[in-house]
Amino acid sequence: MKKGKEQSSMDDKLISRLKEFYKLETFQVAFYKAQADSAANEYYGKVFQKLVNIEQGHADYYADLIERAGEVVPSFIGSVFKLAGDFIGEGVEQIGQHDTCTLGVMLENKAIKKYRTFIKESKDKNYIEIRNKLMEFLLDEEFHALWLREYAKHHPN
């Protein structure tokens, strides 16, 4: 991202959206990390670790933009991660891979919807570089949803 034009024209709404997406991506990281850490199946664990790495890249991108705008990156209380990791992680053991993937699809669908809205907003505001990155991230989210949906379909509980 160019430091001049886009950064100086970041309005409060854009900064708020960047923080919202940072939180969303950070939650996805925590959710997928819980899956990777609790996976009994090696392949399943590797897939979720790959999702962690991709979603962490998204979160890092938003954190960088937030910092460049001179804002504070949102922080989370330990209990939020404990809830995401412990509750969902334990749920994996109890509900199985199929339902975990179904929950992952729901999370990805929520992210996809939010990305589409943000892409439209960024076009209206002429945030070209941010918009291009949003489209890349939207594709990632769509691929994640497709993989999770297919895995759930072929691996019922």
Residue with tokens 């594709």: 139
Identify which of 143, 149, 43 has the alpha carbon closest to the alpha carbon of residue 106. Answer: 149
Q: How many residues are listed for the chain in this entry?
A: 157
**Could you tell me if residue 126 is left (phi over 0), alpha (psi between -120 and 50 degrees) or otherwise beta?**
left
Predicted local distance difference test score (pLDDT) of residue 45: 92
Residue 76: count of CB within 10 angstroms of its CB = 12
Q: Which two tokens stand for residue 39?
A: 């996976």
pLDDT exceeding 70 applies to what percent of the chain?
A: 79
The amino acid at 96:
G
Which of the listed ranges 19-33, 79-93, 97-111 does the model predict with the highest average pLDDT?
Answer: 19-33
Assign 9 to helix, strand or coil: coil
User: For 108-157, what is each residue's pLDDT tens digit?
Assistant: 999 999 999 999 998 888 788 899 999 999 999 999 999 999 998 887 66
Tokens 């945030």 correspond to 127
- Considering only residues 87 and 54, tell me which one the structure prediction assigns the higher pLDDT: 54
**pLDDT category, 9, cuts 50, 70, 90?**
low
User: Comparing 65 with 38, which gets the higher pLDDT?
Assistant: 65
Q: Is the pLDDT of residue 16 over 90?
A: yes
In this prediction, residue 39 has a pLDDT band, given cuts at 50, 70 and 90, of confident
Closest C-alpha to 106, from 75, 150, 148, 156: 148
10-154: CATH superfamily = Ferritin, core subunit, four-helix bundle (1.20.1260.10)
Reply yes or no on whether the pLDDT at 64 is more than 80: yes
Read off the pLDDT band of 93 (50, 70, 90).
very low
- Between CA 67 and CA 70, with CA 69 as vertex, the angle to 5 degrees is 65
Model pLDDT, residue 118: 95
Residue spans of the domains in the chain: they are 10-154
Q: pLDDT, tens digit, for every residue of 24-33? A: 999 899 889 9
d(CA 107, CA 78): 21
Hey, which of 23-32, 49-58, 79-88 has the most confident mean pLDDT? 49-58
